[in-house]
Amino acid sequence: MLVIVAPGQGAQTPGFLAPWLEDPAFADRINWLSAVSDVDLAHYGTKADAETIRDTAIAQPLLVASGLVAALALFPHPAGDAFRVIDLAAGHSVGEITAAAGVGVISAEQAMVFVRQRGKAMAEAAAKNPTGMMAVLGGHPEEVLAAIERHNLIAANNNGPGQVVAAGTLADLERFTADPPAKARLVPLQVAGAFHTHYVAHAVDLLGGYARAISTHDPRTRLLSNRDGHIVHNGREVLDRIVTQVSSPVRWDLCMQTMQDLGVTGMLEMPPAGTLTGIARRAMPGVETFALKTPDQLDDARAFVEKHGEGGPLEGNPTWRLLVSPMKGIFNLATDQPTGAALAPGDVVGNVKSLRDDLQVSAPHGGTIVEWLVEDGDPVSPGQPLVRLHPAVSVQ
Protein backbone atom coordinates (compact mmCIF):
# COMPACT_ATOMS: atom_id res chain seq x y z
CA MET A 1 0.00 0.00 0.00
CA LEU A 2 1.41 3.35 -1.12
CA VAL A 3 1.14 6.81 0.44
CA ILE A 4 2.37 9.94 -1.35
CA VAL A 5 3.34 12.77 1.03
CA ALA A 6 4.28 16.43 0.57
CA PRO A 7 6.58 18.24 3.04
CA GLY A 8 5.93 21.50 4.86
CA GLN A 9 7.80 24.73 5.41
CA GLY A 10 11.40 24.30 6.52
CA ALA A 11 12.06 21.50 4.01
CA GLN A 12 13.28 23.96 1.35
CA THR A 13 17.03 24.32 0.73
CA PRO A 14 18.93 26.75 -1.53
CA GLY A 15 19.12 25.58 -5.15
CA PHE A 16 16.91 22.49 -4.74
CA LEU A 17 15.00 23.24 -7.97
CA ALA A 18 18.11 23.61 -10.16
CA PRO A 19 18.36 20.01 -11.46
CA TRP A 20 14.61 19.89 -12.13
CA LEU A 21 14.65 23.04 -14.25
CA GLU A 22 17.04 21.40 -16.73
CA ASP A 23 13.92 19.68 -18.11
CA PRO A 24 12.19 22.19 -20.45
CA ALA A 25 8.71 20.80 -19.67
CA PHE A 26 9.32 21.19 -15.94
CA ALA A 27 10.68 24.72 -16.48
CA ASP A 28 7.62 25.71 -18.52
CA ARG A 29 5.25 24.51 -15.80
CA ILE A 30 7.22 26.35 -13.11
CA ASN A 31 7.11 29.51 -15.23
CA TRP A 32 3.34 29.16 -15.58
CA LEU A 33 2.85 28.68 -11.83
CA SER A 34 5.18 31.65 -11.27
CA ALA A 35 2.83 33.77 -13.39
CA VAL A 36 -0.21 32.46 -11.50
CA SER A 37 1.31 33.09 -8.07
CA ASP A 38 3.23 36.26 -8.97
CA VAL A 39 6.36 34.72 -7.42
CA ASP A 40 9.56 34.07 -9.42
CA LEU A 41 9.79 30.42 -8.45
CA ALA A 42 12.69 29.60 -10.77
CA HIS A 43 14.81 32.33 -9.23
CA TYR A 44 13.98 31.46 -5.63
CA GLY A 45 14.42 27.74 -6.27
CA THR A 46 17.88 28.12 -7.83
CA LYS A 47 19.66 31.34 -6.88
CA ALA A 48 18.20 32.62 -3.59
CA ASP A 49 19.96 31.98 -0.28
CA ALA A 50 18.55 30.22 2.78
CA GLU A 51 17.49 33.44 4.51
CA THR A 52 15.56 34.64 1.47
CA ILE A 53 13.59 31.42 1.00
CA ARG A 54 12.87 31.34 4.73
CA ASP A 55 10.35 34.14 4.05
CA THR A 56 6.91 32.56 4.40
CA ALA A 57 5.51 34.41 1.39
CA ILE A 58 8.24 32.84 -0.78
CA ALA A 59 8.72 29.45 0.87
CA GLN A 60 5.10 28.33 0.74
CA PRO A 61 4.42 28.89 -3.00
CA LEU A 62 7.84 27.39 -3.75
CA LEU A 63 7.04 24.21 -1.82
CA VAL A 64 3.59 23.70 -3.33
CA ALA A 65 4.73 24.39 -6.90
CA SER A 66 7.72 22.05 -6.68
CA GLY A 67 5.58 19.21 -5.35
CA LEU A 68 2.86 19.63 -7.97
CA VAL A 69 5.21 19.88 -10.94
CA ALA A 70 7.35 16.97 -9.72
CA ALA A 71 4.15 14.91 -9.41
CA LEU A 72 3.44 15.57 -13.09
CA ALA A 73 6.97 14.39 -13.92
CA LEU A 74 6.32 11.21 -11.93
CA PHE A 75 2.76 10.73 -13.24
CA PRO A 76 2.50 12.41 -16.69
CA HIS A 77 -1.14 11.25 -16.97
CA PRO A 78 -2.47 11.45 -13.39
CA ALA A 79 -5.99 10.19 -14.10
CA GLY A 80 -4.66 7.05 -15.78
CA ASP A 81 -1.35 6.56 -13.99
CA ALA A 82 -1.59 7.99 -10.48
CA PHE A 83 -5.05 7.12 -9.24
CA ARG A 84 -4.65 3.55 -10.45
CA VAL A 85 -1.94 2.95 -7.86
CA ILE A 86 -2.04 5.64 -5.15
CA ASP A 87 -3.79 4.39 -2.03
CA LEU A 88 -3.42 7.45 0.17
CA ALA A 89 -2.13 11.03 0.12
CA ALA A 90 -1.12 13.47 2.86
CA GLY A 91 0.80 16.70 3.33
CA HIS A 92 2.50 18.26 6.33
CA SER A 93 1.25 21.80 7.07
CA VAL A 94 1.39 23.75 3.78
CA GLY A 95 2.01 20.38 2.12
CA GLU A 96 -1.71 19.71 2.63
CA ILE A 97 -2.36 22.19 -0.19
CA THR A 98 -0.02 20.20 -2.43
CA ALA A 99 -1.78 16.98 -1.48
CA ALA A 100 -5.27 18.47 -1.95
CA ALA A 101 -4.42 19.71 -5.44
CA GLY A 102 -2.65 16.44 -6.26
CA VAL A 103 -5.81 14.40 -5.59
CA GLY A 104 -8.08 16.82 -7.44
CA VAL A 105 -9.80 18.76 -4.64
CA ILE A 106 -8.62 22.03 -6.21
CA SER A 107 -6.67 22.83 -9.38
CA ALA A 108 -2.98 23.65 -9.47
CA GLU A 109 -3.86 27.26 -10.35
CA GLN A 110 -6.28 27.54 -7.43
CA ALA A 111 -3.64 26.03 -5.15
CA MET A 112 -1.03 28.58 -6.21
CA VAL A 113 -3.29 31.60 -5.71
CA PHE A 114 -4.46 30.24 -2.36
CA VAL A 115 -0.95 29.42 -1.09
CA ARG A 116 0.29 32.85 -2.20
CA GLN A 117 -2.39 34.48 -0.05
CA ARG A 118 -1.78 31.99 2.77
CA GLY A 119 1.92 32.81 2.81
CA LYS A 120 1.27 36.55 2.82
CA ALA A 121 -1.40 36.33 5.50
CA MET A 122 0.73 34.15 7.77
CA ALA A 123 3.79 36.35 7.26
CA GLU A 124 1.77 39.46 8.16
CA ALA A 125 0.25 37.77 11.21
CA ALA A 126 3.65 36.49 12.36
CA ALA A 127 5.21 39.94 11.95
CA LYS A 128 2.93 41.37 14.63
CA ASN A 129 4.98 39.58 17.31
CA PRO A 130 8.57 38.24 17.30
CA THR A 131 7.83 34.52 17.34
CA GLY A 132 9.42 31.32 16.09
CA MET A 133 9.49 27.52 16.20
CA MET A 134 11.97 24.98 17.53
CA ALA A 135 12.20 21.23 17.01
CA VAL A 136 12.61 19.19 20.18
CA LEU A 137 14.39 15.95 19.29
CA GLY A 138 14.45 13.11 21.78
CA GLY A 139 13.53 13.26 25.45
CA HIS A 140 10.63 11.56 27.19
CA PRO A 141 7.37 12.59 25.45
CA GLU A 142 5.54 13.57 28.65
CA GLU A 143 8.53 15.54 29.96
CA VAL A 144 8.91 17.33 26.61
CA LEU A 145 5.25 18.41 26.54
CA ALA A 146 5.42 19.49 30.21
CA ALA A 147 8.53 21.60 29.54
CA ILE A 148 6.89 23.23 26.51
CA GLU A 149 3.86 24.17 28.61
CA ARG A 150 6.04 25.34 31.52
CA HIS A 151 7.75 27.87 29.27
CA ASN A 152 4.46 29.23 27.93
CA LEU A 153 5.02 27.60 24.53
CA ILE A 154 2.72 25.51 22.33
CA ALA A 155 3.29 22.06 20.83
CA ALA A 156 2.53 23.29 17.30
CA ASN A 157 3.65 20.09 15.53
CA ASN A 158 3.60 16.59 16.96
CA ASN A 159 5.62 14.59 14.46
CA GLY A 160 5.73 11.33 16.39
CA PRO A 161 8.03 9.85 19.01
CA GLY A 162 11.08 11.99 19.56
CA GLN A 163 10.07 14.99 17.47
CA VAL A 164 7.79 17.74 18.74
CA VAL A 165 7.92 21.35 17.55
CA ALA A 166 7.57 24.07 20.18
CA ALA A 167 6.30 27.49 19.11
CA GLY A 168 5.90 30.85 20.78
CA THR A 169 7.61 34.16 21.40
CA LEU A 170 11.36 34.43 20.84
CA ALA A 171 11.78 35.38 24.50
CA ASP A 172 10.00 32.21 25.67
CA LEU A 173 12.00 30.13 23.20
CA GLU A 174 15.21 31.60 24.64
CA ARG A 175 14.17 30.58 28.15
CA PHE A 176 13.26 27.14 26.83
CA THR A 177 16.72 26.82 25.26
CA ALA A 178 18.32 27.62 28.60
CA ASP A 179 16.14 25.04 30.38
CA PRO A 180 15.52 22.19 27.90
CA PRO A 181 13.87 18.84 28.67
CA ALA A 182 16.25 16.10 29.79
CA LYS A 183 17.96 14.16 26.99
CA ALA A 184 16.46 16.41 24.30
CA ARG A 185 18.22 18.34 21.52
CA LEU A 186 16.76 21.67 20.38
CA VAL A 187 16.97 22.79 16.74
CA PRO A 188 15.64 26.22 15.64
CA LEU A 189 13.50 25.96 12.48
CA GLN A 190 13.86 28.14 9.39
CA VAL A 191 10.38 29.67 9.61
CA ALA A 192 9.24 33.23 10.13
CA GLY A 193 6.87 32.80 13.04
CA ALA A 194 4.90 30.61 15.44
CA PHE A 195 2.70 28.90 12.87
CA HIS A 196 -0.16 26.61 13.91
CA THR A 197 -0.76 28.67 17.04
CA HIS A 198 -3.02 31.56 18.07
CA TYR A 199 -0.22 33.95 17.10
CA VAL A 200 -1.30 33.63 13.45
CA ALA A 201 -5.06 33.32 14.04
CA HIS A 202 -5.62 36.62 12.21
CA ALA A 203 -4.82 34.80 8.94
CA VAL A 204 -7.67 32.30 9.37
CA ASP A 205 -10.51 34.78 8.82
CA LEU A 206 -8.86 36.21 5.71
CA LEU A 207 -8.19 32.77 4.22
CA GLY A 208 -11.70 31.62 5.07
CA GLY A 209 -13.08 34.32 2.80
CA TYR A 210 -10.87 33.21 -0.07
CA ALA A 211 -11.74 29.54 0.49
CA ARG A 212 -15.47 30.23 0.25
CA ALA A 213 -14.93 31.53 -3.28
CA ILE A 214 -13.04 28.42 -4.44
CA SER A 215 -14.90 25.56 -6.11
CA THR A 216 -13.90 22.10 -4.88
CA HIS A 217 -14.20 18.45 -5.87
CA ASP A 218 -14.09 15.36 -3.68
CA PRO A 219 -10.65 13.68 -3.51
CA ARG A 220 -9.86 11.07 -6.16
CA THR A 221 -8.18 8.90 -3.51
CA ARG A 222 -8.04 8.79 0.28
CA LEU A 223 -6.72 12.01 1.80
CA LEU A 224 -5.50 12.47 5.38
CA SER A 225 -6.05 15.57 7.50
CA ASN A 226 -3.31 17.03 9.73
CA ARG A 227 -5.88 18.00 12.32
CA ASP A 228 -6.60 14.49 13.57
CA GLY A 229 -5.29 11.92 11.10
CA HIS A 230 -8.80 11.25 9.77
CA ILE A 231 -9.70 10.50 6.16
CA VAL A 232 -11.62 13.45 4.67
CA HIS A 233 -13.63 12.71 1.55
CA ASN A 234 -15.64 15.93 1.13
CA GLY A 235 -13.76 18.53 -0.91
CA ARG A 236 -15.31 21.49 0.89
CA GLU A 237 -14.35 20.05 4.27
CA VAL A 238 -10.79 19.45 3.02
CA LEU A 239 -10.42 23.14 2.17
CA ASP A 240 -12.08 24.29 5.41
CA ARG A 241 -9.65 22.17 7.41
CA ILE A 242 -6.69 23.60 5.48
CA VAL A 243 -7.85 27.09 6.48
CA THR A 244 -8.28 26.39 10.20
CA GLN A 245 -5.07 24.35 10.26
CA VAL A 246 -3.12 27.62 10.01
CA SER A 247 -3.70 28.31 13.71
CA SER A 248 -4.14 24.75 15.03
CA PRO A 249 -1.47 22.11 15.76
CA VAL A 250 -0.27 19.66 13.11
CA ARG A 251 -0.82 16.09 14.29
CA TRP A 252 1.45 14.23 11.92
CA ASP A 253 1.76 11.53 14.58
CA LEU A 254 -1.94 10.74 14.12
CA CYS A 255 -1.52 10.77 10.33
CA MET A 256 1.22 8.16 10.62
CA GLN A 257 -0.96 6.10 12.96
CA THR A 258 -3.69 6.04 10.30
CA MET A 259 -1.13 5.02 7.69
CA GLN A 260 -0.14 2.10 9.90
CA ASP A 261 -3.81 1.22 10.56
CA LEU A 262 -4.30 0.98 6.80
CA GLY A 263 -1.22 -1.19 6.32
CA VAL A 264 0.94 1.25 4.34
CA THR A 265 4.08 -0.48 3.09
CA GLY A 266 5.68 2.36 1.10
CA MET A 267 5.94 6.15 1.53
CA LEU A 268 7.11 8.35 -1.34
CA GLU A 269 7.89 11.98 -0.46
CA MET A 270 7.69 14.70 -3.11
CA PRO A 271 10.45 17.33 -3.37
CA PRO A 272 12.04 18.95 -1.51
CA ALA A 273 12.05 15.49 0.06
CA GLY A 274 13.73 14.00 3.10
CA THR A 275 11.96 15.42 6.15
CA LEU A 276 8.86 13.20 6.25
CA THR A 277 10.62 10.04 5.11
CA GLY A 278 13.20 10.68 7.84
CA ILE A 279 10.44 10.84 10.46
CA ALA A 280 8.81 7.71 9.03
CA ARG A 281 12.01 5.69 9.25
CA ARG A 282 12.03 6.32 13.02
CA ALA A 283 8.30 6.13 13.71
CA MET A 284 7.03 3.56 11.17
CA PRO A 285 9.39 0.56 11.30
CA GLY A 286 8.93 -1.82 8.41
CA VAL A 287 7.61 0.87 6.04
CA GLU A 288 9.89 1.40 3.03
CA THR A 289 10.54 5.05 2.14
CA PHE A 290 11.60 6.94 -0.98
CA ALA A 291 12.69 10.60 -0.88
CA LEU A 292 12.33 12.03 -4.39
CA LYS A 293 14.94 14.80 -4.50
CA THR A 294 16.24 15.00 -8.08
CA PRO A 295 14.90 14.04 -11.53
CA ASP A 296 17.51 11.33 -12.03
CA GLN A 297 15.57 9.35 -9.40
CA LEU A 298 12.32 9.31 -11.41
CA ASP A 299 12.74 5.82 -12.88
CA ASP A 300 13.49 4.39 -9.44
CA ALA A 301 10.53 6.30 -8.04
CA ARG A 302 8.21 4.79 -10.67
CA ALA A 303 9.47 1.34 -9.76
CA PHE A 304 8.79 2.11 -6.09
CA VAL A 305 5.24 3.20 -6.95
CA GLU A 306 4.59 -0.01 -8.90
CA LYS A 307 6.00 -2.09 -6.06
CA HIS A 308 3.78 -0.63 -3.35
CA GLY A 309 0.77 0.87 -5.12
CA GLU A 310 -2.47 -1.05 -5.07
CA GLY A 311 -5.08 1.59 -5.86
CA GLY A 312 -7.49 2.60 -3.11
CA PRO A 313 -11.13 1.50 -2.78
CA LEU A 314 -12.24 4.69 -4.56
CA GLU A 315 -10.32 3.86 -7.76
CA GLY A 316 -12.70 3.33 -10.67
CA ASN A 317 -15.69 4.76 -8.80
CA PRO A 318 -17.34 8.19 -9.17
CA THR A 319 -16.20 9.50 -5.78
CA TRP A 320 -19.12 11.88 -5.30
CA ARG A 321 -21.43 8.86 -4.99
CA LEU A 322 -19.61 7.37 -2.01
CA LEU A 323 -19.64 8.11 1.70
CA VAL A 324 -16.51 6.81 3.39
CA SER A 325 -15.31 6.16 6.91
CA PRO A 326 -13.17 8.99 8.36
CA MET A 327 -11.20 6.64 10.60
CA LYS A 328 -10.74 3.13 11.96
CA GLY A 329 -13.54 1.96 14.23
CA ILE A 330 -16.97 0.34 14.43
CA PHE A 331 -19.75 1.59 12.15
CA ASN A 332 -23.23 2.04 13.61
CA LEU A 333 -26.30 2.94 11.54
CA ALA A 334 -28.19 6.04 12.63
CA THR A 335 -31.60 4.63 11.68
CA ASP A 336 -32.99 1.97 9.39
CA GLN A 337 -32.21 3.37 5.91
CA PRO A 338 -32.91 0.68 3.31
CA THR A 339 -31.83 0.64 -0.33
CA GLY A 340 -33.90 3.22 -2.21
CA ALA A 341 -34.26 5.57 0.76
CA ALA A 342 -33.86 9.25 -0.09
CA LEU A 343 -31.43 11.38 1.93
CA ALA A 344 -31.64 15.13 2.25
CA PRO A 345 -28.37 17.14 2.17
CA GLY A 346 -26.68 16.80 5.54
CA ASP A 347 -28.61 13.71 6.69
CA VAL A 348 -26.64 11.52 9.09
CA VAL A 349 -26.30 7.90 7.99
CA GLY A 350 -24.39 6.65 11.02
CA ASN A 351 -21.31 7.05 13.15
CA VAL A 352 -17.86 5.50 13.48
CA LYS A 353 -16.65 4.94 17.02
CA SER A 354 -13.11 4.20 18.20
CA LEU A 355 -11.37 4.39 21.56
CA ARG A 356 -10.37 7.98 20.74
CA ASP A 357 -13.30 9.45 18.78
CA ASP A 358 -16.96 9.08 17.92
CA LEU A 359 -17.66 10.72 14.54
CA GLN A 360 -20.87 11.16 12.57
CA VAL A 361 -20.98 10.33 8.85
CA SER A 362 -23.40 12.47 6.87
CA ALA A 363 -24.42 12.86 3.22
CA PRO A 364 -23.41 16.45 2.37
CA HIS A 365 -25.26 16.47 -0.95
CA GLY A 366 -28.04 14.00 -0.17
CA GLY A 367 -29.10 11.38 -2.71
CA THR A 368 -30.71 7.97 -2.96
CA ILE A 369 -29.17 4.90 -1.31
CA VAL A 370 -28.15 2.51 -4.07
CA GLU A 371 -26.16 0.00 -2.02
CA TRP A 372 -24.91 -0.40 1.53
CA LEU A 373 -21.28 -1.57 1.49
CA VAL A 374 -21.13 -2.31 5.25
CA GLU A 375 -23.58 -3.49 7.89
CA ASP A 376 -24.43 -2.14 11.32
CA GLY A 377 -21.66 -3.08 13.78
CA ASP A 378 -19.03 -3.79 11.13
CA PRO A 379 -15.39 -2.83 11.80
CA VAL A 380 -14.23 -0.31 9.19
CA SER A 381 -10.88 1.13 8.12
CA PRO A 382 -10.03 4.77 7.27
CA GLY A 383 -11.45 5.73 3.88
CA GLN A 384 -13.47 2.53 3.48
CA PRO A 385 -16.66 3.12 1.42
CA LEU A 386 -19.79 2.76 3.57
CA VAL A 387 -22.67 3.45 1.18
CA ARG A 388 -23.15 4.25 -2.50
CA LEU A 389 -25.56 7.07 -3.33
CA HIS A 390 -27.27 8.09 -6.56
CA PRO A 391 -27.06 11.89 -6.67
CA ALA A 392 -29.66 12.54 -9.36
CA VAL A 393 -32.74 12.48 -7.14
CA SER A 394 -33.74 15.86 -5.74
CA VAL A 395 -34.90 15.58 -2.13
CA GLN A 396 -37.55 18.13 -1.03
Which residue numbers are catalytic?
93, 196
- Report the distance separating Cα 296 and Cα 301, nearest Å: 9
Q: Is 378 helix (H, G, I), strand (E, B) or coil?
A: coil
φ, ψ for residue 81, nearest 5 deg: -90, -50
Secondary-structure breakdown of the chain: helix, strand, coil percentages, each rounded to the nearest 5: 40, 20, 40
CB 241 within 8 Å of CB 128: no
Q: How many CB atoms lie within 10 A of CB 54?
A: 17
- The beta-strand segments (E) located in the chain are 2-6, 88-91, 131-138, 154-158, 163-169, 184-188, 222-223, 266-269, 288-291, 322-324, 329-333, 342-343, 347-353, 358-363, 367-372, 379-380, 385-390
342-343 and 367-372 strand pairing? antiparallel
Cis peptide before 391 (omega within 30 of 0): no
